[in-house]
Amino acid sequence: SQQGEEDPQALSIQEGENATMNCSYKTSINNLQWYRQNSGRGLVHLILIRSNEREKHSGRLRVTLDTSKKSSSLLITASRAADTASYFCGPTGTASKLTFGTGTRLQVTL
Amino acid sequence: NAGVMQNPRHLVRRRGQEARLRCSPMKGHSHVYWYRQLPEEGLKFMVYLQKENIIDESGMPKERFSAEFPKEGPSILRIQQVVRGDSAAYFCASSRSRDTGELFFGEGSRLTVL
């Protein structure tokens, strides 16, 4: 299965702290994407990292990819209350569809 | 450039009725994906369509569910004879091509079956 599995299921931190969530997958991939979902809303694309990249940055986001371990991590630095959301990873390979796990629910408190 | 548009945003049906959910992809996008999400759960893939073709329907229940993406007009997800277990949020996403990876999601249609 090309589905990503996010870990931990839930994460609670205080504003200003860093948040790290992980993604594991089982098959070869072309790229891996991270999405955010605010409560009751659709998913929003955050960042895409290709299989030949090891690290990528976008603002306060840092994504790493280790294809040998079939894992990725998403780091959100200096978190804000507005970062409270669920985060999903989507490994993409030869399959025609993007499938998601149950996500990591991040709660950032003031 | 409008995003992915889904309607209705909320739909209430009684058991046995039909539900029709519509999705207009972003301009220039010919690939549409439907997902279902139950409360506190992740998104479950249902079906992937390209204009006039069903590419992958491995996530669709075998009965009562169907999807289409005609040459003209929005993609339709149709649920016949709805049951309470069909109550969920249904999300549509679109992409420009199969290989670009990034999906653009609509805000979802929330179906409640009484």
- DSSP 3-state of A91: strand
pLDDT value of residue B2: 74
Enumerate residue ranges in chain B where pLDDT < 70: 1, 99-100
Minimal-distance CA residue of chain B relative to A90:
B101
Contact at 8 Å (CB) between A46 and A23? Answer: no
Distance CA B58, CA B55 (A): 9
User: Over chain A, what is the mean pLDDT?
Assistant: 93
Q: Per the CB < 8 Å rule, is B42 touching A30?
A: no
Minimal-distance CA residue of chain B relative to A46:
B102
Confidence at A93, pLDDT banded by 50, 70, 90: confident
pLDDT value of residue A3: 82
The residues, ordered by sequence, that sit 6+ positions from B75 with a Cβ below 8 Å of its Cβ are B22, B23, B24, B25, B32, B34, B49, B67, B68, B69, B92
Residue among A44, A88, A99 whose CB faces B45 most closely: A99
Tell me the torsion sign for CA atoms B56, B38, B76, B20: positive
Residue A21: enclosing H or E segment and its boundaries? strand A19-24
- Amino acid B104 reads F
Q: Indicate which of A35, A51, A52, A97 best probes the interface with B, i.e. most B CBs within 10 Å of its own CB.
A: A97
